[in-house]
Amino acid sequence: MSERILGPLSDRRRLGWWLFIGLLTIVAAFLAYSFVGMIVLGVFGYYATRPVNRRLRRTVESDSIAAGITVLVVVVPILLLIGYVGFNLFQQLQQAIGTGGPATFGLVDLSALPAAQRETVTTLLRDPTQFISQPQQTLQTVVQLGGQVLGAVGGGIVFLGLVVALSFFLLQNDVALSRGFRELFGGRDTTAYAYAIAVDEDLESVFFGNLLFVVAMSVIAVGTYEVTNLLAPEALHVPMVLVLGVLTGIASLIPIVVGKVIYLPIVAYLGSQAVRSGGSFLFVGGALVAYFLILDILPQTFLQPYITGRQLDMLVLMFGYILGPILFGWYGFFLLPIVFIVMLEAIRIILPELVHGEELTPDVSLGEGVGTDPQSAHEAPTGETTDTSPENDDTTTD
């Protein structure tokens, strides 16, 4: 009798909890949408460095120490290098446009200021003596502009700090998170777990491969540009070798495009130097051939097939790299490839059974050679050992 009375009450309570969970899901989705740039960059940092963290974890036998070393040795230097490249790029743009246009003045974006205030700042920067003739008004403008700059710099530092913290958290706790998700999905033999592990391994393959490829191509590009300067006639030289080398490495991620968007302008710049100084056009032509062979044929033919996205077709991911920034902004470069992988694995593992009305299985039903095989990935997911005994499930290496 009591079971009959408690049954409907229990159902209502479960419905209430489901509504509460649904509300929390909406809140979590809103937070993720609000900080999507930080999240996708932190996820990229995690997957791009996870193989390094796994090796360190086996050496130091501590999740925290391994994650800390990985962040300090890999993630932080990459962010510092990107900041250095961006800073030098803005400096060169400032020199190229002289004193700056109405929208930008060096590193400071003035387009957000009111027209009158923007004109005052531009006049001040072009003629600092205006500070003497109009001290009160100019001082107020300078203070406001300084506050905006400090706010932007402080916000950028906080943003990068949160990215590093998120990557560290994932590197430190990925084993525990994997165990928790495995229990939530119902074990290793479920379709949900097979789908999750396939997405997980694909993301590591793509992002870690991307990192290796960018580093390799950046080193090759920097060396190529340095050799160009060593062999070039006196009036010809390649400026900002490190900056252009890193940009060439990043551009090389995109198939077909590869480094053309960087080395072709460099060749044009060398050609303009040759025109002004009466230099050797033969050397410029030789540089173009060398760049084509080293920075174009080499990555597409040898490096890219073996390093970047070994389990996925890079022509498919190319659309993610190109369309992502167009659709979402800078973070789309990382977000849209993640979306593509999530969609791809759903099509490979789940969609065929749904279409045919068959029971869902953890096996790949479509495109077996395209992405990760979940069955082989079960052997050691997210750095765990293959020992799945209950006593080991509750232990940590920290």
pLDDT digits (tens, 9 = 90+) for 163-184: 999 999 999 998 888 888 888 8
The more confidently predicted of residues 275 and 105 is 275
Question: DSSP states of 259-299 as a string?
Answer: THHHHHHHHHHHHHHHHHHT--HHHHHHHHHHHHIIIIIHI
Contact 337, 199 (CB under 8 A): no
pLDDT above 90 covers a percentage of the chain that reads: 24
What is residue 96's predicted lDDT score, i.e. its pLDDT?
Answer: 56
Element (H, E) at 54: helix 36-60
Between 330 and 55, whose confidence is greater? 55
Tens digit of each residue's pLDDT (9 = 90 or more) over 193-211:
889 998 998 899 888 988 8
Better pLDDT: 393 or 274: 274
What pLDDT, on the 0 to 100 scale, is given for residue 390? 38
Predicted local distance difference test score (pLDDT) of residue 186: 80
387 or 225, which is more confident: 225
Residue 73 DSSP SS3: helix
Q: List, in order, residues 6 or more apart from 39 with CB less than 8 Å away.
A: 32, 166
| Side-chain half-sphere CA neighbours of 45 within 13 A | 32
Q: How far apart are CA 178 and CA 381, in angstroms?
A: 8
Which residue range(s) make up the domain with 86? Answer: 38-95+138-185
| 127 has pLDDT over 80 | no
Asked if residue 165 belongs to a domain, the reply is: yes
Q: Tell me the average pLDDT across 46-53.
A: 92
Query: Would residue 142 count as lying in a domain?
Result: yes
Indicate whether 21 belongs to any domain: no
Indicate whether 368 belongs to any domain: no
* Bridge partners, residue 105, by sequence: 108
d(CA 319, CA 255): 10
Please measure the distance between the N-terminal and C-terminal CA atoms of the chain and give it in whole angstroms.
50
pLDDT of residue 326: 87
* Mean pLDDT, the chain, integer: 78
- Say if 68 falls within a structural domain: yes
> Looking at the DSSP assignment, which residues form a beta bridge with residue 108?
105
* Residue 15, in any domain of the structure: no
pLDDT band at 17 (very low <50, low <70, confident <90, very high): confident
Q: What is the mean pLDDT of residues 11-31?
A: 89
Residue (of 267, 294, 291, 298) closest to 281 by Cα position: 267
The answer to whether the predicted template modeling score (pTM) of the entire model surpasses 0.85 is no
Q: Is residue 78 part of a domain?
A: yes
The encoded tokens of residue 282 equal 């033969």
What pLDDT does residue 49 have?
A: 92
Residue 380 lies in a domain: no
Q: Which of 148-157, 205-214, 237-246 has the lowest mean pLDDT?
A: 148-157
How is residue 295 written in tokens? 């920075």
Amino acid found at 382: T
Contact (CB, 8 A) for 306 and 217: no
- The number of distinct structural domains making up the chain is 1
